Amino acid sequence: MAVQWMTAVIDFPAATYGPACAFWQAVTGFTLSVPGSGAGELGALVPQRGNTYLRVQRVDRDNPGCRLVLYVDDLDEVERHAEKVGAAIARPRSGFIVMSSPAGLPLCVVAAGGERQPERPQPQFWPSGHRSVVDQLCLDIPSVAFGAEGFFWEAITGWERRPGSRPEFEYLVRPPAMPLRLLLQRLEDDEHGPGRAHLDLACDDVPAERFRHESLGAVFVAEPSWTTLRDPAGLAYCITRRDPFTGTLRTP
């Protein structure tokens, strides 16, 4: 199975949908393409150059969230293979499959279109002189499910899994054109429930990027290993000191 493209979908409750979409438009520097007012309709954050990889959706629930969509060249192969590697298939449909991972993370797999040379958007240059880009989806996984979850994501993408920069991290080696790296984070032993996901930004000046986000309405949560904030909908995300062009961790 070959993954041709990927998008992250950010789900916002109706009450915070407008402010949250405007926030992420400003954070990314992308153009916001918003659908009609009904729940379930997808909008898009469209870069000036490169393919769209971030989408927004209004949902009928109280909590925001983030999930992944993979575009593949052989949907039938995915359907035959997914349950064998631990997926729970919710809705197989013509053109797409809705499933969940062993830890309960939602995943949609879609038949890819004819485009075979997608372009990964480049980092944005900000007035303060630094650059940043949303370039990672972190999968937060309860410790009891971490092994099965790592096996699942490696199998479903076909990407090699490697140890991360800390003992609780693993990551998948994305092809060069892919816009998001998948990072697997093992949660503390006392954290239970289904897995969840959050977005990470790479930047070359964390204090400047944090200041920019807070001026746009983000709320600071924690430091120092990485900077955690919440957007206007209450969705947590992180600013990291990884290089915005290569994704590699920079030394302090």
> Matching CATH topology for 3-111 and 124-240?
yes
Architecture of the CATH domain 3-111 = Roll (3.10)
3-state secondary structure of 81: helix
Q: What is the pLDDT of residues 128-164, one digit of tens each?
A: 999 999 999 999 999 999 999 999 999 999 999 999 9
pLDDT bin (cut points 50, 70, 90) of residue 66 is very high
CB atoms within 10 A of CB 63: 12
CATH 3.10.180.10 fits 124-240, yes or no: yes
The domain spans of the chain are: 3-111, 124-240
DSSP 147: H
Q: What is the pLDDT of residues 100-126, one digit of tens each?
A: 999 999 999 999 976 567 899 999 999
Q: What is the pLDDT of residues 22-42, one digit of tens each?
A: 999 999 999 999 776 666 678
Q: CA–CA separation, 198 vs 37, rounded Å?
A: 25
Query: Whole-structure pTM over 0.85, yes or no?
Result: yes
The amino acid at residue 216 is L
98 and 88 Cβ atoms separated by less than 8 Å: no
Q: Is the peptide bond before 224 cis (omega within 30 degrees of 0)?
A: yes
Is a pLDDT exceeding 80 seen at residue 208? yes
